[in-house]
Amino acid sequence: MLGLPYFSPKPPASPGCPGCGVASGSKHEWGCQNEQCPFCGDKLDGCGCIFIPRPNSRGLNPLENEDFWQEIVDERGRIPFGSEDTVAT
């Protein structure tokens, strides 16, 4: 025992999402550019799924209502960081 503070080095693996910083297996922060769309498998930010009419839209337009769009994606099932290849087709 030398009485000196001991700093354990951080593991270099699993640096987390480069966009929002979540660990592998966790859901991205909403709006992260690296999140994958659970509908089409493309980037959620910029894919065309937001334009598709929703049967339960209650008159809401996801283009004008970010909360509604998030609700749609949540219902479908968000894809956690690191699970991008397991999306169902």
Residue 34 binding Zn ion, by CB under 5 A: yes
Q: Minimum Å distance from CB 30 to Zn ion?
A: 10
Choice from 30, 45, 47, 60 touching Zn ion (CB under 5 A): 47
Residues with Cβ < 8 Å from 43, sequence gap 6 or more?
33, 34, 35, 36, 37
User: Which pair of structure tokens corresponds to residue 46?
Assistant: 């910029």
Residue 49 binding Zn ion, by CB under 5 A: yes
Q: In angstroms, what CA-CA distances link 16 with 9, 45, 59, 76?
A: 16, 19, 37, 23
Within 1-30, the residues that bind Zn ion by CB under 5 A are 17, 19-20, 28
Residues that bind Zn ion (CB under 5 A): 17, 19-20, 28, 32, 34, 37, 39-40, 47, 49
